[in-house]
Amino acid sequence: MSAKFLCCLPLRLGVLIISFVQFLICFLVAGLMWFALHVSEHAQTIPPGVKRSVIIFAVVYSFAGLISFIGFIGAIARKHGFVRTFALLLQFCLGFQIGSGIYFLISFLTNKGDYIKTCLDNATNDDQKDACTQFSHINNAAVILGVLIPIFIQGYASYVVSAYATRLAREKASSKSAPKSGTYQPVHGETYPLTQPASYPYADNTHSFGSKSAA
């Protein structure tokens, strides 16, 4: 049984939906990461380890959003090269996302206390202190799920796009091997075209239709 998107939908539709949704999500996450980095950098309340992990995470999601747009164009045009390139880039992004996600979780979980302390020490008003206090109440399980869920989605997206790229490759190979219609096939034994003059028994006037033989 051939692969389907969500068990019953066409793969092409799946690639279109995945690439478009991933494009929006990745650029939204990347934008939030860059905005948080800008705010924290301005307030000088972010440790170096967490800063590096946020930068890596933002770069990965920005890159993922770009290749999602490429995949969307490839699915619309049914171009095997575009879809295959998108699948390869998606697999690379998946591996990079797994590595950056692990690094982010380790950095976040091990430096959470230092981050809160640095945030409180550098806070200059009550609003910043409240923000630091709210950060201390963030559930670690929620952060872990927030990293793992996009990775699982990315893995399934990679599977669907790779399956559709394989299908396009098969269709392309089938179209090349199929015989072309409308081509002239020569008849065996024919030594000259039918348009050229040739002698045959009823070509002369005495044997042509309507002629009368002499009595």
Q: Which residues of 142-176 are buried (b: 16+ CB within 10 A; e: fewer)?
A: eeeeebeebeeebeebbbbbbbbbbbbeeeeeeee
pTM of the full structure: 0.60
- Compute and round to an integer the Cα radius of gyration of the chain: 34
State residue 16's pLDDT score.
92
Contact 26/61 with Cβ under 8 angstroms?
yes
pLDDT at residue 42, rounded to an integer: 65
Collect contacts of 121-125 with beta carbons under 8 A, ≥24 apart.
Answer: 122/43, 122/44, 122/45, 123/45
DSSP state of 206: G
* Greatest C-alpha distance within the chain: 133
> Does position 79 have pLDDT exceeding 60, yes or no?
yes
Return the higher-pLDDT residue of 185 and 10.
Answer: 10
pLDDT, residue 215, reads: 46
Q: What is the pLDDT of residue 104?
A: 86
pLDDT in tens, 82-131: 888 889 888 988 898 899 889 888 888 887 777 777 777 777 777 777 77
Give the Å distances, CA to CA, from 140 to 63, 105, 137, 207. 27, 9, 9, 104
Q: Are 116 and 45 in contact (CB under 8 A)?
A: no
Higher pLDDT, 176 or 12: 12
The residue type found at 68 is S
For the stretch 168-215, pLDDT in tens is: 888 888 887 766 655 555 555 555 555 555 555 555 566 555 555 544
Residue ranges of domains in the chain: 11-123+134-171
Distance CA(135)–CA(212), nearest Å, equals 115
Contact 33, 61 (CB under 8 A): yes
